[in-house]
Chains A and B, each alone.
Chain A
Amino acid sequence: MPGVYFTTTEFLDDAKSAAKDRGMPGIRMIALPADTYYRSRSTQAELQPIAAAVFDQMVDDLVRPLTADEAKPSQIQKQHENTNIKVTGSDYQDAYQNVNDLFLDSRWADGLPIVPPTPVLVKAMLAATTRSPDEVVGQVAPKNGTATVEKIAVNSVMAGAKPEYFPVILAAMDGFVDKHFDLTHVQASTGSFTPVVIVNGPLAKELNFNSGIGMLGHGWRANSTVGRALRLSLLNIGQTWPAVNDMALTGRFEAYTFFTFAEDEAKSPWEPYHVALGYKPEDSTVTVATSGNPLVLGGGAVAPWTAQGILDTVAARTSNVVFGWVHSQTYILVLHPDCAYELGKLGYTRKSLQAWLYEHTSIPYEKLLAATSGFGHASEIDEINQSIADGRIRPDRAQIFKNALKPGGKVPIVQSPDDFHIVVAGGSPGYSLLFSYPGPNWANETKKITGATLTKAGH
C-alpha cells in the first residue's frame, strides 16, 4: 500500500534514521516547518496555509513513479565495529588527550572525558565475571546494536567503573535488553525519561553503593560509574545521539549517571525489596526501570510531615492526573528510612501498603468519564477498553477493570498492587520520592547478579 509520512524539520533526521533501522530507507517523507507547525497546530485555520504549501508535494510523492533504488534498494551493509583503534601522540598525555578528542568528536562518549578503553583495562574488567566476552547479552534499541559482554566491558572501562562493579552493570543490561522492557521508548522518546537503577542484596553493601544522604548525587564511585557505564553502553551499543535519534526534548534529569542507588535494607522495617520479589536474601539483584522527574514528598529537615500524610499525597497526586496507559504503569515509591519506620509502626506491611496504594489511587468512574486521554483522542475509558481488548491488561486482571468501568466503580491506575514497588532509601530526616513512567509499554525488570569473581557476593 503506497503511503507518505509527515514529520517536521526537527524530527526529519530521526525519521530517516528510524526508516533505515527498519530496512526501508526509501520511505517518502515530508517535513513540515517546525518553526511554524508547532505554533499553529492548535487550530485548523492556522494549519491551513501549512497544509496547502505541502499539498502538491504530497500528491507528487503518492503518484511519482519509483526510482530503481526506491523500488529495490541495495541491501544495507553491516558496519564492522570490532577493530581496535590506534591513536598516537607525542607522549602519553598527548595520546590520552587524542583518544578523548577522538571519542568525544565521534559521539562515542557522553560529553565528559573518558578512560581510554585499552585492551589491558578491558581484560581486567572482563576478569570480574565468569560470563564469556563473546556472550550476546541482547540487542540495544533503537538501532538494535549487539551488546556482547565485551562491548559492555569497553563502555564500563570508559565510565571509570571498577571491575568489581561489572557484574552489576551486566545484570542491569540484562534488564534493559529484556524483551519485555520497552527500551526504544526509553531511549528515543521526547518524554525525556531517565532510567532508574536500584541495587539490592549483599553486593550493594560490599561495593559501597550509597543508599543514604545524597544517594542520587555525586561522590559515590559505585553509584556514579555503574550509572555512567550504563549510560555509555546504551549510547554506544544502541547508537543514539541527542536530536538525531534520542529525541528527549529537555535531555534527561540524570543524564550522565541515571538515578542509580541501593536500597537501605538495614533501615527498612520490611524484607528487602528483592526478597519481596521472590529472590533469596543472599541474592543480589539490580532493578532497572525508568521515570520522569520524581515527585518529592515530605518536609525534609525544615517542614513537618507524617507518614500517613505522605501516603495521602501520593494518592492525591497520582489519582488526580491523566494516566493514559494503565496496562503498563508501575510506580516506585522510595521511602526515606524515618517514613518507612513510621509506616511500620502504624502496622503497615509491604503488602498492606501496596494494597492501600492500589485502593486509594483508584479513580472514580465518574471522574474518569469526564477525563480526556493524555494522548490522542480516545477517552481514558476507551484507552482502558482497548488495553483489555488487545490483552495488554492481563486476562486475570481484565475483569477487575470491566467491573470498575461502571457508575460507582473505582478504576485502578495499575494492573495489580504489586505494580507499586516499595523501596527504602535516602537520608534522615528525609524526602521520599515517587518515580513514575507514563509510557505505553512495560519498562521495569529485576535481574539477579551472577558470575562475580572478585567479590564475596554476586556469584
Chain B
Amino acid sequence: MSTAAWLRLALMAGLFLLLEIFCRIGAIDSRVMIPPSEMVVSLVSLLQTRQLAVDMLQTFGAIAIALLFAVAAGFAAGLVIHALPRLRRALDPFLATYYAVPLFIFYPVLIAFFGISVLPIIIMGFAFAVVSVIMSTLNGLDHVPRVLRKVARVHRLSPFSTVTRLIIPSVAPHLFTGVKLAVAYCFIGVIASEFIASSTGIGHAIAYAYSDFNNRTMYGLILLIVTVVITINMTLHHYEGKISRRMARRPAK
C-alpha cells in the first residue's frame, strides 16, 4: 500500500477513535450518537435477523434492477441522441439542468400513481441514474476517433457490428465513469425514496428506527449503508484507475 493509503487508513481510524472517546466520556450525548464500537455490535446482531435480510434483498434488488435498466436505456438513448445533432442541441440545456432539479419532489406523484410498492422506488433509482449514463455515453461518443468510423465503413460493417465491435470498446472507459456515477445515483434514489415513504427496505428501516428513538438500530443500519457504498465506490474507483492507465498506455490514435 502507498503512503497515502496508509495515512488515509490512519486518519479514518483516528476519527473513529476520537468519536469513540467523545461518546464514551459523554462529550457527545448518547441520545445524539452512540459510540462507533456499539454501532458495529448493533450491525452484527442486526445482520443475524431475518428482517434485515428481507430489507437488504428488497433494497439491493431494487438498486440492481434500476441500474440495469438505467445503463441499457441510457446507452441506447445516448446512441440515438448522438446520431441526431439537432435533437442533441435542443436537449442539451435540459440534460445540463437535470441534476439541478430536486427529483425527489416527483416521488409523491409516482406513489399516487403506483401506490406504495417497490415500483416507484425502482423508477426513482432509474430516473436518478439514467441521465448520467446518457451524458457519459455522449461524452464517450464525442471522443471516438474518426478513423474508427472510417475503418467500419471500409470494412462494410453493419450498424450493429459497428456498435458492438468498435463503438462500445472505444466508449467503454467513458461509459465506466457514467456507470460508476449511476451506481451512486441508484443508491441515492432508492434509499432516499424508501426513507421518504415506503413500507420495506433499508431506507424505511432507518426512518422507522429514527421515529422510534431506536438509536442502536438506526446507527447500525447507517453503518451498513456507509460501509456498502464506500466498498462499492472504492472497488469501482480502483477499476476506473486501471482502465484509464491501460488507455494511457495505448498508442495515440
Do A and B belong to a common assembly?
A: no
